[in-house]
Structure 1
Amino acid sequence: MTAKELPIWPFRQTILDTVFKHPITVIIGETGSGKTTQIAQMLDKAYCAREGCIGVTQPRRVAALTVARRVAEEMRCEVGQEVGYRVRFEERTSRRTRIVYLTDGTLLREMLDDPELSAYSVIVLDEAHERSLNTDVLFGVLKSLVKTRQKPLKLILTSATLDSAKFSAYFDGCPVLNIPGRQYEVQIVHSQGNHENDYLAAAVDTALDIHLHQPPGDILVFLTGQAEIDKAVKQLSEAIAELPEDSCPDLLILPLYAAMPLELQARVFAPPPDGCRRLIMATNIAETSITVDGVVYVVDPGMVKQKSYTPATGMESLHVVPISRVQATQRAGRAGRVCNGKCYRLYTAQFFEREMSETTVPEIQRTNMLTAVLYLKSLPLDIDVLAFDYLDSPGSEALEDALRQLLILDALDRDGHITELGRRMAALPLEPSLARSLLAAADHDCLPETLTAAAMLSAETIFLGNRQGELSEQGRAALAELMKEGLGDHILMLRIFQAWERNSFSSKWCKDMGLDVRGMHFAREVRKQLADLGSCKSQARGGLCLAGVDALRRALLVGFANRLARRMPRHNGYKTLNERATLAQLHPATARIAADEDGLMPEFVIYYALFATAKVFLSKVCPMDSEWVEDILPKLRNIDVERLSGGMTTKKAAKRAAVVGDLSEKQVVKNVPVANARKNDLAAVDAARQRYLARKSDKKK
């Protein structure tokens, strides 16, 4: 389909006129209208790129890369020339680049170096309805920047499904353009019963039934994650194999998820052989971020895997939950791109109307705000994160939790001001705990090793499936040798990378060890880019002595001081040391950790994640020596959140100040012994603990 055949084409002049007249424009274009690929090209042809690049954000890395390639093909240029992309740890642009596709997180990071975004004349926030955390932060930051930047900046928000009145009101009454989308009708077919508990089997059965009994056209099935997709592909393949010979037409089954290697993703977009139908099993990245031409049938189980975060406990939960009606509409729209299509919803019409929420809860209201608050504090805009102009506020509890964590990581001082360490942390393309570990590594003379650990932890996947279940006996023995120190996941990851390096970065070695080749190469590239930032120019040492391992662990302790857990006195359960202590177990996939002669695990560990499924688990764990933790514990005590969050700038603190102002000097003095009593209590606890450790030491002797 050419650009002139897309629904957006007749509206190009209206779009340009509106954008030129107004600083902010909202464009609602239905699925298939061409907004993602065409708006930037329209602006480019109207010479908008003369004053700076046209930046188009995407919520996902894979979408930024895919759309950049598509637009470069339409403009008959190579990616990196007139059209390029920027994502974390990867960039293809040049001085000729006029249109840049980038993730919303990448644009937010660019503001740390250039708060005015002087390289851009237009910013397009695409797929705004997905309400990713970074996009929501950009809403507030760019809304302010449009008003204050001396050189005009145009902001455009695009989506297929958006609450136009809400967004227009938030952006000071900006105009809203509605672009018709689908050229073809989509018939919605609801099931007679809901399949919440057996949606995977129902999706497989429905897809097979479509293939056997419906006219030609590709099938798109939505599932919740990689493991589920792999299971469905296996079930469908087995079902087809059991059918009588020649009773089933040719079917090409293709998985699609974000962690898939690019060369395998490319197979999804390639046309199938003649007479062969494609069946794509995808996560929700196929709702909006990626368009697969040729889809006529959509199977929608109505479920999605959603992450939520509890600030008080620091615990993440990953649950399969019903999608929103907005998401259901997005999914159905995928069926009407090339001809009349059908969407098979594996839930009733009553469930759609009464049980599904209208919109998805924004990520900003269900995620850890640590990274976002660090970025906001690092911007030279004097931002009060509690009073920031959010479209939907994340809530004071989530923001105070982030401020508390940043204080523990030395990114903020006691008054909530960004420190020099905090600015350096924000400048690194890593989540704050890893960034802090990397900065601490220089003090502990273990920077090369910490670079490796940080890179390995940044990869989405290192191990394929069950860590040891699918390994040969030789592979299990090799893995056991790498874990012989019994120092947990971080040290195992270091040893794996070093062993891979000794084996000349062999892909075969990775497969023999049950490692994900793509994940390992990604970690290697991340490590190289981190080292090239100037923090470290030396090469990693071939081996690492015990003292070096201890140095790495101490650097990790500094970075993960906000994720410490302490073993219970008489068993191997752990209790976290955050605001609200939470009982948790080591995840079964945790690398070997050596126990003492009584079978007890180390007293203290750091963890990469605390999450709940059927049980609460600590994931990616590294043990810490008790004497090291003694230096960290004072950071976790007596944190004044009101002072940290700005004190007089918050309503709560202002109210408290008014109350304190009414107190007499005598009343205020009376409060002092209470504070001292609290300190004495802590000292008594510490003294008791030291006595316990001394008795334990004597017992061992």
Structure 2
Amino acid sequence: MERMKLPILQYEDQIVETVEKNPVVVIIGETGSGKSTQLSQILHRHGYTTSGVIAVTQPRRVAAVSVSRRVAQELGVQLGEEVGYAIRFEDRTSEKTRIKYLTDGVLLRESLSNPDLSQYSVIILDEAHERSLNTDILLGLMKRLIRLRATNLKVLITSATLDGEKVSRFFSQCPVLHVPGKLFPVEILYSPERAKNYVESALKTALDIHVKQPEGDVLIFMTGQDDIEKLVLKLEEKIQHLEQGSVMDAIILPLHGSLPPEMQIRVFGPPPPNCRRFIVATNIAETSLTVDGVVYVIDSGYVKQRQYNPSTGMYSLDVVQISKVQANQRAGRAGRTRPGKCHRLYPSIVYNDDFLDATIPEIQRSSLAGCVLYLKSLDISDIDILEFDYLDPPSAESLEDALRQLYLIEAIDEGGVITSLGRSMADLPLEPSLSRTLLEAKDLGCLPQALTVVAMLSAETSLLPARSSKNTDKKRKTPPSNLPDGSGYGDHIQLLQIYEHWDETFYSTEWVKEHNLQVRGMLFVKEVRKQLSQIMQKIATGPLDVQQGRRRKEIQTEYRNLRKALCVGNANQLAERMMRHNGYKTLGLKSQLVQVHPSSVLQPDEDGMLPNYVVFHELISTSRPYMRNVCSVEMRWVAPILQKIEKLDVSKLSGTSRPSKERTQEGDFSSQKEDKPITQAPEDPNSRIQAARERFLARRGNR
């Protein structure tokens, strides 16, 4: 049996003995060691599920689903019974579940209702090297929980490349076990120069491999769904035109987080005889998922990464260079079954001189509003948000920005105490701005409409037909005439209208196909809306179903109230931008800084002018910064919030009136003051990299 050959099983006794003697253990399991699938089973065999459930967190939904399915298959049980998974808006567990795979965000949310996480005997934080925001928060909470929980708890931190000694120091010198992987040699082949178009370069390299190299699957790393779909189409076209019989057959499979599960599963099955698979994937294939049969890897050298700039309060979705750790992980995918080759579409000098040693932790490049709201909602008196025990502390600017956001949307009061609104927001599995929108919509009488818009914005991928991606207003194209147009107010209203039209057909999948919408995406939205409605039902009174047969005047009132609710939910975004312009005259739509995305249905007036003020759901940076999913609002809705900005005292908002002092990391589980702190050395290269990055983002935001 293939599973018995996995290296981690040779270390079973050592792992169990170490876990038995220590509350926290770090396990560095190299690629192919079997840590993600076998560690939970090892502990299950040794009785750790008799006193509770074994929880295994994953940073990615795809991994939580696929790994749980694999473990259920190996144990010969039905998925959802003894082995299950829980991801946002989907829970396949039962009272029988003893091994539970779940995203790190879901575990954080569970701790709101059960701070001790008493249902779990073991918590395994897997793939910790990815340094997701939620995993980093969990590391700090696990450190505290180990010290305070009355019942016995075991915490394992597992990773392929994590700095084990650093984590060991964080957890009071806990033991670190190293489990070697099962890798064959991988030949690294560099390009003589950096590809100007990595999609075209990947296409050429893939065809060269197919024509000239022996059998073996090809894994191609692209940056996102758009690049993947382009490359899949180009590969299919080129391979079809190759002379029949000159090469083996080929199938091309995409792999990204927005694919339905049945599409994702295809990459884990064996290929047909005499057939090569081309798997075109995002970075989810770097570590969390192992695809057997891969002999060749093509590495573009890029990844799509969400970056947050606290000085402007804006997100951007940027294509950035990967780190050396990521490059090595990608290369390792080629050595799973036999000696392989990794084609890097960049020169060795780029790898050596330009790539960072490790990926910047998500906590240092994300908006922290959601995690700060979570920490506030725990009601733990000894937690100071600015001095919480982080493995790698975020910048003070990011934390202060998060506190400011929460204050402006009334999640916390002037003293930093969480409000009743803030508690209700924390109950919703949404970013704070969307949670606040729902609560405001409840008061304005447009909650059914807001639920629909929020659910549509929570879809994993774009639901609408592809439109022109040209970056000029002249080439902006309106959506097909048979789809609603937002009535001139913008994209949020269009999303509402689309869903309500679908509701009138009794959720017909034929209607979805007829209008070139995504069937799976729309069904996902329907389920999300149902779950959000159930949560809001505890807060709101009256029906939350989609309302039909309304008079035109009622519809216009609802549109107005919905836009106001969106405005309040994004109060920080609007108020801060208004403050930057003399006399609060313009949001900046007419400046060169930010523009409405060409795909928007927001319409100019008879003078050809767009509204002065809008809310947007995300800022995406391509050839220039664009606002996506925009909706017109009125300045007077936001004006009262401007007064709140002038009263801000961030030190009070953090939960303490003391001046912020230099943060340290405790070296022991004890809370005694005499514990020796472990501080970050001033010359630490990660600190210099982060400082340089923040300066770059600030310069870009000021252009």
TM-score of the two chains, using structure 1 as the length reference: 0.88
Alignment correspondent of 1:377: 376
Range with greater deviation from structure 2 (112-121 or 608-617):
608-617
The amino acid that maps onto 1:522 is F
What is the distance in 2 between the residues matched to 1:202 and 1:275?
Answer: 26
The amino acid that maps onto 2:587 is Y
Match 2:513 to one of 502, 511, 514: 511
Q: Does 1:306 align with 2:305?
A: yes
The amino acid that maps onto 2:512 is C
Q: Deviation per CA, 1:394-431, whole angstroms, max 9, x where unpaired?
A: 11000000000000110000111111111110111111
Deviation at 1:325, TM superposition (A): 1.3
Alignment correspondent of 1:602: 611
Q: Deviation per CA, 1:205-249, whole angstroms, max 9, x where unpaired?
A: 121111222221111111111111111112222222332332221
What is the distance in 2 between the residues matched to 1:302 and 1:366?
Answer: 20
Alignment correspondent of 1:70: 70
Alignment correspondent of 1:681: none
What is the distance in 2 between the residues matched to 1:456 and 1:225?
Answer: 20
Q: Does 1:574 align with 2:580?
A: no
Alignment correspondent of 2:626: 617
Q: Does 1:51 align with 2:51?
A: yes
Alignment correspondent of 2:209: 210
Q: Is the contact between residue 573 and residue 585 of structure 1 (CA under 8 Å) also seen in structure 2?
A: no
Alignment correspondent of 2:248: 249
SS of the residue corresponding to residue 394 of structure 1 reads coil
Deviation at 1:464, TM superposition (A): 4.6
Cα distance change, pair 324–629 in 1 and its aligned pair in 2 (3 A)? closer
SS of the residue corresponding to residue 571 of structure 2 reads coil
Deviation at 1:53, TM superposition (A): 0.5
Alignment correspondent of 2:547: 541
Q: Is the contact between residue 387 and residue 650 of structure 1 (CA under 8 Å) also seen in structure 2?
A: no
Give runs of aligned pairs for residues 379-398 of structure 1, distance below 5 A: 379-382=378-381, 383-398=383-398
What is the distance in 2 between the residues matched to 1:446 and 1:154?
Answer: 46
Match 2:642 to one of 633, 648, 653: 633
Q: Is the contact between residue 451 and residue 530 of structure 1 (CA under 8 Å) also seen in structure 2?
A: yes
Q: Is the contact between residue 254 and residue 280 of structure 1 (CA under 8 Å) also seen in structure 2?
A: yes
Give runs of aligned pairs for residues 377-456 of structure 1, distance below 5 A: 377-382=376-381, 383-456=383-456
Give runs of aligned pairs for residues 198-237 of structure 1, distance below 5 A: 198-237=197-236
The structure with higher relative contact order (CA 8 Å, sep 6+) is 2
Root-mean-square deviation (Å): 2.5
Range with greater deviation from structure 2 (407-416 or 537-546):
537-546
Q: Is the contact between residue 309 and residue 316 of structure 1 (CA under 8 Å) also seen in structure 2?
A: yes
What is the distance in 2 between the residues matched to 1:528 and 1:272?
Answer: 39
Alignment correspondent of 1:168: 168
The amino acid that maps onto 2:623 is A
SS of the residue corresponding to residue 316 of structure 2 reads strand
What is the distance in 2 between the residues matched to 1:458 and 1:125?
Answer: 25
The amino acid that maps onto 1:559 is G
Alignment correspondent of 2:684: none
Q: Does 1:563 align with 2:573?
A: yes
Q: Is the contact between residue 386 and residue 660 of structure 2 (CA under 8 Å) also seen in structure 1?
A: no
Q: Is the contact between residue 490 and residue 602 of structure 2 (CA under 8 Å) also seen in structure 1?
A: yes
Alignment correspondent of 1:143: 143
Deviation at 1:642, TM superposition (A): 2.8
Cα distance change, pair 464–491 in 1 and its aligned pair in 2 (3 A)? closer
Range with greater deviation from structure 2 (311-320 or 537-546):
537-546
Deviation at 1:469, TM superposition (A): 9.0
Alignment correspondent of 1:526: 528
Alignment correspondent of 1:108: 108
Match 1:487 to one of 483, 486, 489: 489
Give runs of aligned pairs for residues 309-348 of structure 1, distance below 5 A: 309-348=308-347
Q: Is the contact between residue 490 and residue 621 of structure 1 (CA under 8 Å) also seen in structure 2?
A: yes
Deviation at 1:506, TM superposition (A): 2.3
Cα distance change, pair 14–638 in 1 and its aligned pair in 2 (3 A)? same
Deviation at 1:631, TM superposition (A): 3.6
Deviation at 1:598, TM superposition (A): 3.6
- Aligned residue-pair number: 644
Give runs of aligned pairs for residues 241-280 of structure 1, distance below 5 A: 241-280=240-279
Q: Deviation per CA, 1:60-91, whole angstroms, max 9, x where unpaired?
A: 01110111100000011111110011111000
Deviation at 1:591, TM superposition (A): 1.8
What is the distance in 1 between the residues matched to 2:466 and 2:585?
Answer: 23
TM-score of the two chains, using structure 2 as the length reference: 0.87
Deviation at 1:582, TM superposition (A): 9.8
Alignment correspondent of 1:660: none
Based on CA coordinates, which of the two structures has the bigger radius of gyration?
1
SS of the residue corresponding to residue 96 of structure 1 reads coil
Cα distance change, pair 649–475 in 1 and its aligned pair in 2 (3 A)? closer
What is the distance in 2 between the residues matched to 1:464 and 1:210?
Answer: 36
The amino acid that maps onto 1:168 is S
Deviation at 1:516, TM superposition (A): 1.9
What is the distance in 2 between the residues matched to 1:569 and 1:618?
Answer: 22
Q: Is the contact between residue 573 and residue 583 of structure 1 (CA under 8 Å) also seen in structure 2?
A: no
SS of the residue corresponding to residue 49 of structure 2 reads helix
Alignment correspondent of 2:474: none
SS of the residue corresponding to residue 508 of structure 1 reads helix
Q: Is the contact between residue 593 and residue 623 of structure 1 (CA under 8 Å) also seen in structure 2?
A: no
Alignment correspondent of 2:473: none
The amino acid that maps onto 2:488 is G
Cα distance change, pair 433–582 in 1 and its aligned pair in 2 (3 A)? farther
What is the distance in 2 between the residues matched to 1:342 and 1:276?
Answer: 19
Cα distance change, pair 94–264 in 1 and its aligned pair in 2 (3 A)? same
Q: Is the contact between residue 188 and residue 345 of structure 1 (CA under 8 Å) also seen in structure 2?
A: no
Q: Deviation per CA, 1:443-473, whole angstroms, max 9, x where unpaired?
A: 1111111111111111122435523799xx9
Cα distance change, pair 145–180 in 1 and its aligned pair in 2 (3 A)? same
Alignment correspondent of 1:642: 651
What is the distance in 2 between the residues matched to 1:324 and 1:458?
Answer: 29
What is the distance in 2 between the residues matched to 1:30 and 1:394?
Answer: 28
**Structure 1 unaligned blocks of 5 or more:** 655-701
The amino acid that maps onto 2:480 is R
SS of the residue corresponding to residue 123 of structure 1 reads strand
SS of the residue corresponding to residue 91 of structure 2 reads strand
SS of the residue corresponding to residue 352 of structure 1 reads helix
Deviation at 1:275, TM superposition (A): 1.3
Alignment correspondent of 1:588: 598
The amino acid that maps onto 2:319 is V
What is the distance in 1 between the residues matched to 2:296 and 2:125?
Answer: 29
What is the distance in 1 between the residues matched to 2:485 and 2:506?
Answer: 21
Q: Is the contact between residue 573 and residue 584 of structure 1 (CA under 8 Å) also seen in structure 2?
A: no
The amino acid that maps onto 1:574 is L
What is the distance in 1 between the residues matched to 2:184 and 2:316?
Answer: 38
SS of the residue corresponding to residue 209 of structure 1 reads helix
SS of the residue corresponding to residue 253 of structure 1 reads strand
Range with greater deviation from structure 2 (528-537 or 7-16):
528-537
Give runs of aligned pairs for residues 340-359 of structure 1, distance below 5 A: 340-359=339-358
SS of the residue corresponding to residue 429 of structure 1 reads coil
What is the distance in 2 between the residues matched to 1:653 and 1:408?
Answer: 26
Cα distance change, pair 516–467 in 1 and its aligned pair in 2 (3 A)? farther
The amino acid that maps onto 2:534 is D
Q: Is the contact between residue 488 and residue 593 of structure 1 (CA under 8 Å) also seen in structure 2?
A: yes
Q: Deviation per CA, 1:328-355, whole angstroms, max 9, x where unpaired?
A: 1211221222222222222333332332
Q: Percent identity?
A: 50
